[in-house]
Amino acid sequence: METISCFRLSVILSIALFIFARPWYTPSKPGLLGCTKSTPWCTSKNRRTQLGSVLETQVSQPKNLPTDTPLHPLDPLTIPEIKKVRAILSAYAPFSWTFPTIHSLSLDEPDKSRVLEWIKGDPLPPRRASVIALLNGQTHVLTVDLDLGLVISHDNNPGSGYPTLSMDDISVALQVTLSNEEVNKSIMARGVAYSDLSCITPSAGWYGPNEEGKRIIKVQCYSSQGTPNFYMRPIEGLTVTVDIDKREVVKISNTDRGIPVPKATNTDYQYMAQDKPMEMEPLNPISIEQPNGQSFRVEDGHMVKWANWVFHIKPDQRAGMIISRAMVRDSVTGELRSVMYKGFASELFVPYMDIDESWYFKTYMDAGEFGLGVTAMPLVHLNDCPRYSYYMDGLFVAADGKPFVQSNMICIFERYAGDIGWRHSELPVNSFEIRESRPKVTLVARMAASVGNYDYIFDWEFQTDGLISVKVGLSGMLMVKGTPYENVYQVPISKEISGSLVSENVIGVVHDHFITFHIDMDIDGPNNSFVEVNLVKEETLPGESPRKSYLKAKRHVAMMEEDARIKLKLYDPSEFHLVNPSRRSRLGNPAGYKVVPSGTAASLLDLNDPPQIRSAFTNNQIWVTPYNRTEQWAGGLLVYQSKGEDTLAVWSERNRPIENTDIVLWYTLGFHHIPSQEDFPVMPTVSSSFALKPVNFFESNPILRSKPNFKKDLPVCRPASSS
């Protein structure tokens, strides 16, 4: 495989690409960006070296390295396969003159029926690649058959949107910005040294009716003088719009000159930069320990087997992490039963609530515009993931069509939080004393996407009682706005600010986060139904009871898509079941799973607001669609600059039948975020989750026979001299 240059890593691995601008910046010569000891910014006081050695990202645990041979129909493309696709594309007539920019190149998953009928040992179904490429401003969506060595489908410009931004796109945007004389002048006018400049391409997706129909992007800059946490030092009011394909500045918006760049003081978050002790008692080391090692194993690179669960997991450049073929063993029969065919984070929507020239467009759609996998940096051992974690690398494709490794981007570990899986006590009538309790041990698959300032931590957690919990944690830093005010008393009553003053000259702008998951449940097979179990208040008849009221559960099977566009209601509550009407328990209850929401938030933007149209998948918390292999990305296949004509909301409008057929559940987890001073200069993790919980799937409680912890099995651990 290709060696990844310092430059390529830098631009591939983050969308909030910042670059320490230099006059000699030349994106066409990537090597130049690799710094040497002689480049001035490398020796600047802010550039701490070798932090990688402080926090452990090199893990000594064994892990499967990517193999050259796929072993499962859903296994991602291997290095030789990626190279082969590149070769096929190079030889493909339309690209024979110029090789296009590759914006996506990944396995084109076989039809579900082929995957379902495949048994280990069988030959794999034909291996195909799905490619999204750009050439001369045109989008090409292709399918490549690796066995045939041919492009077998090719679609041009299939929608209003453009493919995920490539590193080259971002490099061009920054280069064009930083070579612009007017931009340079205004930055100098604000007292920021050119060598301290960090620029990013904040929100790529939508700029309004005057700026559409071309691949344009806005660039904003920060000062990293005195801190690596440049996000806290915005050069407010300077926004440069760049036409990527024409490589030119389209517009420079330069307002709010009176706003100072906020100070760097106390913004550095690095542990090594802290020179004051915390005002708290130190904590002793603490760890999740497994004296006999992990109880799970990863077979054939991607098949995870743990307790009663088996599932396939793979890194994905866009979705981050995809769980497939999740099956649980029946607690009575031992049968391995299908639960979920495929689950992943399909799209994010992060609108900021500020309509200023330099803020109105901040309506991120991070998965489709930038990619959650490509921004998932190596996890920090013992901090991002506990000791007995297994780390998995991603194998992704760069803009030139060549593979690169995203190392340690997923970790898998067993989680014990001191929680109780089940317990009961009875009163101690002499020898008949009941003290039963079972510890709750789960399996977690985790990744963390650093999409610029924000870090999104994704956990898929599997429980022995059959429950799957999907959790999203938000950490990292705020996206902040500069302001002339240093104190809330300075804000004139007539002037409203779009968020909270979180530091001097720094506003934490109000914003939302919505994360929409594609959950293709296949409960005991593909054909499932969606059932709303509504709790309805009933009034008693006069004389019928001393009670006046009670609740009754009423089941409604959704027949069409419109029956399954669900807005959660606290005062008209329902449970939402996915059931297999053909698979009944011995009592006649259909085998099912329910979606269990936890804390969430709804998007409140106007339904006709362009950002909301583009992210109309957030109009409801739950949708159910019939399975359609092309409907994977809730915001559409081509999200960047799209107008929302290919979203989940549009698909659902077709109002297809969804009863007793192969259906897909979509769930959106939401957060409103009104920042506070505690979010400055970094943001403690805020998280929420939802669960997929068995309902009448098992004949009875599956953990009944699970084992409690016994003292003899958990000898007190002492540091071993060998460690």
Question: Under rule CB under 8 A, which residues in 593-652 are in contact with a copy of itself?
Answer: 596-602, 604-606, 608-612
Span interacting with a copy of itself, options 21-29, 248-256, 385-393, 649-657, rule CB under 8 A: 385-393
- Asked if 136 is part of the footprint of a copy of itself (rule: CB under 8 A), the reply reads no
Q: Considering Cα of 32, then 38, then 44, then 50, what sign does the dihedral take?
A: positive
Q: How far is the CB of 71 from a copy of itself (least distance, A)?
A: 21
Phi and psi at 85, nearest 5°, equal -60, -40
Q: How far is the CB of 99 from a copy of itself (least distance, A)?
A: 25
Q: Restricting to residues 73-102, which ones interact with a copy of itself according to CB under 8 A?
A: none
- Measured CA to CA in angstroms, residue 128 lies from 106, 147, 324 at distances of 9, 8, 18
Binder of a copy of itself out of 218, 325, 381, 518 (CB under 8 A)? 381
Q: Restricting to residues 3-22, which ones interact with a copy of itself according to CB under 8 A?
A: 6, 9-11, 13-14, 17-20
- Asked if 562 is part of the footprint of a copy of itself (rule: CB under 8 A), the reply reads no
CA atoms of 50 and 565, how far apart (whole Å)? 51
Per-residue DSSP letter, 65? P
Q: How far is the CB of 255 from a copy of itself (least distance, A)?
A: 14
Span interacting with a copy of itself, options 70-78, 314-322, 458-466, 558-566, rule CB under 8 A: 458-466
- Asked if 435 is part of the footprint of a copy of itself (rule: CB under 8 A), the reply reads yes
Q: Which is nearer to a copy of itself, 180 or 534 (CB)?
A: 534
Task: Number of residues interacting with a copy of itself: please give it, by CB under 8 A.
Answer: 222
Q: Restricting to residues 295-354, which ones interact with a copy of itself according to CB under 8 A?
A: 295, 305-308, 329-334, 351, 353-354
Q: Restricting to residues 575-594, which ones interact with a copy of itself according to CB under 8 A?
A: 575, 585-589
Q: How far is the CB of 662 from a copy of itself (least distance, A)?
A: 24
- Please report, to the nearest 10 degrees, the dihedral formed by the alpha carbons of residues 653, 657, 658, 659 taken in order: 150
> Are the beta carbons of 512 and 551 closer than 8 angstroms?
no
Of 405, 388, 371, 338, the residue nearest 65 (C-alpha) = 405
Q: Which is nearer to a copy of itself, 93 or 541 (CB)?
A: 541
Give the CB-side neighbour count of residue 658, counting CA atoms within 13 A: 32
Of 186, 247, 185, 171, the residue nearest 215 (C-alpha) = 247
Q: Restricting to residues 667-696, which ones interact with a copy of itself according to CB under 8 A?
A: 672, 674, 676-685, 688, 693-696
Task: Give kind and range of the element (H or E) at residue 532.
Answer: strand 527-539
Q: How far is the CB of 472 from a copy of itself (least distance, A)?
A: 12
Q: Restricting to residues 513-532, which ones interact with a copy of itself according to CB under 8 A?
A: none
Q: How far is the CB of 593 from a copy of itself (least distance, A)?
A: 10
Query: How far from the centroid of its chain's Cα atoms is residue 158's Cα?
Result: 25
Span interacting with a copy of itself, options 40-48, 99-107, 113-121, 392-400, rule CB under 8 A: 40-48
CA atoms of 183 and 186, how far apart (whole Å)? 5
Per-residue DSSP letter, 378? P
Residue 323, C-beta contacts closer than 8 angstroms, at least 6 positions apart: 311, 312, 313, 340, 342, 343, 344, 445, 460
CA atoms of 616 and 639, how far apart (whole Å)? 12
Angle at 175 (CA atoms; ends 170, 178), nearest 5 degrees = 125
Residue 489: active-site member: no
Residue 454: active-site member: yes
Binder of a copy of itself out of 45, 120, 495, 711 (CB under 8 A)? 711
Of 318, 320, 668, the residue nearest 519 (C-alpha) = 668
Q: Which is nearer to a copy of itself, 65 or 427 (CB)?
A: 427
- Asked if 539 is part of the footprint of a copy of itself (rule: CB under 8 A), the reply reads yes
Q: How far is the CB of 187 from a copy of itself (least distance, A)?
A: 20
Q: Restricting to residues 142-181, which ones interact with a copy of itself according to CB under 8 A?
A: none
Binder of a copy of itself out of 32, 71, 360, 525 (CB under 8 A)? 360
Task: Give kind and range of the element (H or E) at residue 350.
Answer: strand 336-351
Side-by-side strand order, sheet with 138-145: 101-107, 128-135, 138-145, 150-156
The active-site residue out of 222, 388, 454, 593 is 454
Binder of a copy of itself out of 70, 378, 394, 526 (CB under 8 A)? 378
CA atoms of 611 and 87, how far apart (whole Å)? 39
- Asked if 504 is part of the footprint of a copy of itself (rule: CB under 8 A), the reply reads yes
Residue 332, C-beta contacts closer than 8 angstroms, at least 6 positions apart: 698, 699, 700
Binder of a copy of itself out of 31, 62, 418, 543 (CB under 8 A)? 418
Span interacting with a copy of itself, options 33-41, 93-101, 121-129, 238-246, rule CB under 8 A: 33-41
Binder of a copy of itself out of 24, 65, 123, 489 (CB under 8 A)? 489
- Asked if 716 is part of the footprint of a copy of itself (rule: CB under 8 A), the reply reads yes
Q: Which is nearer to a copy of itself, 42 or 150 (CB)?
A: 42
Strands 527-539 and 403-425, sheet pairing: unpaired
Q: Restricting to residues 105-134, which ones interact with a copy of itself according to CB under 8 A?
A: none
- Asked if 189 is part of the footprint of a copy of itself (rule: CB under 8 A), the reply reads no
Q: What is the largest CA-CA distance in the chain?
A: 92
The strand pairing partners of 480, in sequence order, are 508
Q: How far is the CB of 81 from a copy of itself (least distance, A)?
A: 27
The active-site residue out of 366, 384, 393, 679 is 366
Q: Which amino acid is at 288?
A: I
> Are the beta carbons of 565 and 554 closer than 8 angstroms?
no
Binder of a copy of itself out of 86, 103, 190, 440 (CB under 8 A)? 440
- Asked if 40 is part of the footprint of a copy of itself (rule: CB under 8 A), the reply reads no
CA atoms of 340 and 664, how far apart (whole Å)? 10
Range list of β-strands (E), 598-705? 622-626, 661-673, 686-695
Show which residues are catalytic: 366, 454
